[in-house]
Amino acid sequence: MKKLLFIFCLSLLLFNCQNDDDNQENSIVPEETCEMQFDDLGLTEAHAIVIPEQHENPSAINDNTPWKARYSENIVELSYERGYSPESHGNVIFVFKKINNCIKFDYRYEVVMGGITPSINRVYEYFTEHDFIIQEYIPDEKLVGRLIGEYDGEIHNIDFWIDFTTDDFFIEEVPDYISFQNCLGSQLPMNIDINNDGVDDFKFTRDEQFLEDPAFPEIIPILRNIIVFEADNNNTILAGTYNLDLPVFTENLDQSGRDEDYVIWYTDFIHESIYPYKQFNFWTRGYTNEPYNLSTLTNIHYAIKMMVNGEPHYGYINFSILGNDCEIIIHETYLNPTPNEHIIIE
């Protein structure tokens, strides 16, 4: 009996060891392969300038457009500027992986900007297969080669000559990123009682929009959150002003009242990984010519009208929005105690 028990325990031990070995083997992630194809392509330093005819839309590339490059410990990025329409332009970026002393092409993405003061409004991502032929590669010093890819049914050779400098080195740092929901979103709605009577008169809320186009899966989806200033209980927003260089007369605004006003937008590029696309997240003051990285609105005044005991009273609210600091600060509220008497904000 003891002999049988010993054999059973020994078998069980061997079985567990075999399972551990199997699990260990199954858990090993195979190292990514990297093979380089070298050839003398006859490229010269003249190919440090983008050749428009080699790209899918030659008319979108200006003459003498230079190749730009940067590198980190893990990747190399080559890029150039191009136009997309009379109102928009952007950058085409080719990303290469560095695997030990080997380099291989990975994918391409494009960042499109538009508007009077350019704001990033689209990011495209492409995983099109490319043949990659290298004429010369010295890690972190030189990359000369050709990408061969199909664009709109045509084969294009994309040639480049890059001499790296130490200034081209960058560290792949994920931008300081706090989701809107964990930032300002967690503070909304924010109710405001202008005349301290225990009734909410106005409030800050948010409007969330998820933007994607199934017809163009290469466009990175966008999550857009808009901070909205809203009127409650038949009150009215007359106007918002972002500077007080000129006085604001409520009498001039009485016929232009509205129930809500969009104050500031936050655009978040949604993707499986938060790098590189979240570096393009931005705040903006809507679709105006404000700078696209407008993360702070300070000393804003909104003229308002409230019905008290059936009669109109005029006033204002003064506030700031500190987007990256996750704060909405209400500095002052005022309501004229005299009904039907307009005010001047200055």
Residue 73 has pLDDT above 70, yes or no: yes
Q: Which residue has the higher pLDDT, 116 or 106?
A: 106
Same domain, 200 and 245: yes
Same domain, 245 and 323: yes
Tokens of 187: 């503070």
Rounded mean pLDDT, 178-204: 92
Backbone phi, then psi, for 333, in 5-degree steps?
Answer: -130, 150
Closest-CA residue to 227 (of 242, 258, 205, 209): 205
Residue 27 has pLDDT above 80, yes or no: no
Residue 13 has pLDDT above 70, yes or no: no
Rounded mean pLDDT, 134-160: 94
Q: Is residue 123 part of a domain?
A: yes
Q: How far is CA 234 from CA 193, 202, 255, 330, 338, in A?
A: 14, 10, 15, 22, 19
Domain that holds residue 227: 184-345
Sign of CA dihedral 120, 290, 285, 187: positive
Same domain, 68 and 138: yes
pLDDT tens-digit series, residues 143-154:
999 999 988 788
Residue 19 has pLDDT above 70, yes or no: no
pLDDT of residue 29: 54
The answer to which of 51-60, 66-75, 83-92, 283-292 has the lowest mean pLDDT is 283-292
Does the bond joining 276 to the residue before it have cis omega, within 30 degrees of 0? yes
d(CA 111, CA 62) in angstroms, rounded, equals 17
Q: Is residue 19 part of a domain?
A: no
d(CA 36, CA 343) in angstroms, rounded, equals 74
Question: How many domains does the chain fold into?
Answer: 2
Q: Is residue 26 part of a domain?
A: no
Same domain, 49 and 160: yes
Q: Which residue has the higher pLDDT, 273 or 23?
A: 273
Same domain, 122 and 247: no
Rounded mean pLDDT, 126-148: 95
Band the pLDDT of 15: cuts 50, 70, 90.
Answer: very low
Same domain, 196 and 154: no
Q: Is residue 174 part of a domain?
A: no
Same domain, 190 and 328: yes
Tell me the three state secondary structure of residue 22: helix
pLDDT tens-digit series, residues 200-223:
999 999 999 998 889 988 999 999
Same domain, 162 and 41: yes
Q: What percent of the chain has pLDDT over 90?
A: 52
State if pTM tops 0.85: no
Same domain, 315 and 195: yes
Instruction: Look at residues 168, 194, 210 and tell me which one is the last residue of a structural domain.
Output: 168
Residue 56 has pLDDT above 50, yes or no: yes
Instruction: Look at residues 168, 197, 229 and tell me which one is the last residue of a structural domain.
Output: 168
pLDDT of residue 227: 94
Q: Is residue 7 part of a domain?
A: no
Rounded mean pLDDT, 34-62: 95
Same domain, 279 and 229: yes
Alpha-carbon dihedral 287, 288, 290, 292, rounded to 10 degrees: 20
Instruction: Look at residues 117, 135, 168 and tell me which one is the last residue of a structural domain.
Output: 168
Same domain, 217 and 314: yes
Q: Is residue 4 part of a domain?
A: no
Q: What is the mean pLDDT of the chain?
A: 85
Alpha-helix residue ranges (DSSP H) falling in 246-342 = none
pLDDT of residue 153: 83
pLDDT of residue 152: 79
Full 3-state SS string of 135-161:
EEEECCCEEEEEEEEEECCEEEEEEEE
Q: Is residue 206 part of a domain?
A: yes
The answer to which of 70-74, 297-301, 316-320 has the lowest mean pLDDT is 297-301
d(CA 95, CA 70) in angstroms, rounded, equals 10
pLDDT of residue 270: 86
Band the pLDDT of 292: cuts 50, 70, 90.
Answer: low
Give all strands of the β-sheet with 142-151 in edge-to-edge order.
37-38, 130-138, 142-151, 154-163
Band the pLDDT of 115: cuts 50, 70, 90.
Answer: low
Q: Is residue 14 part of a domain?
A: no
Same domain, 193 and 81: no
Closest-CA residue to 286 (of 278, 301, 270, 297): 297
Residue 14 has pLDDT above 50, yes or no: no
